[in-house]
Amino acid sequence: MSPLNIMNATGKGSFYAESWLLTQFLMLGIIPSLKARFGQLTALLREGQSPSKRSRNSFRMSLPSMEKELRRYLARGKFESIDFTVMSDLGVSRPLTTRSLGTVEVCFRLGDALLRIDRAEAAETWFRRAEQLGPRSPLLRKDSDCWRQSAGNLRRPFVF
């Protein structure tokens, strides 16, 4: 369970709503200084700081304090909005281009997505499947160094 109790007994169904609430609180909530410091969070995430250290360094408050303020914000029941002026007609259809993905690319993209959420073991399964189906795929060769570097926790190196 995360320090902010993002996942609770209700499971994944509430994750989106709770994530939205936290983001909304940080960007538009009752503490203006949080919005100014919100941009620092991304840099600290990339550095791999622990959640409690990130909270202290970016928002200058402990996780328990932040959770208390978040609960207070929720109990208030008033959520701010951002108004946008749209300069074009949203009713006009716009051309959209789509393409079919081959099985090798689908396997690679699934592996890449899993790797980005720290599910290296599951990612390896999809990368290996992509390798079996298309060992000469330029996608695998071109991107292999990139995902191999970010997969430092994979048990054995991939060789393409």
| CB contact at 8 A, 149 and 158 | no
141 Cβ contact list (under 8 Å, min separation 6): 160
In this prediction, residue 4 carries a pLDDT of 45
Element (H, E) at 118: none
pLDDT digits (tens, 9 = 90+) for 32-61: 888 888 878 777 777 777 777 877 888 888
Provide the residue ranges of all domains of the chain, joining segments of one domain with +: 11-76, 103-150
| CB contact at 8 A, 114 and 123 | yes
Q: Whose CA is closest to 146, among 115, 105, 106, 125?
A: 115
Q: How far is CA 28 from CA 9, 19, 97, 103, in A?
A: 27, 14, 35, 42
In this prediction, residue 137 carries a pLDDT of 83
79 Cβ contact list (under 8 Å, min separation 6): 24, 28
Rounded Cα gap, residues 9 and 85, in angstroms: 40
Structure tokens at 159: 């060789």
In this prediction, residue 115 carries a pLDDT of 80
**Residue segments in the chain with a per-residue pLDDT below the cut of 70:** 1-13, 141-160
3 state DSSP class of 130: helix
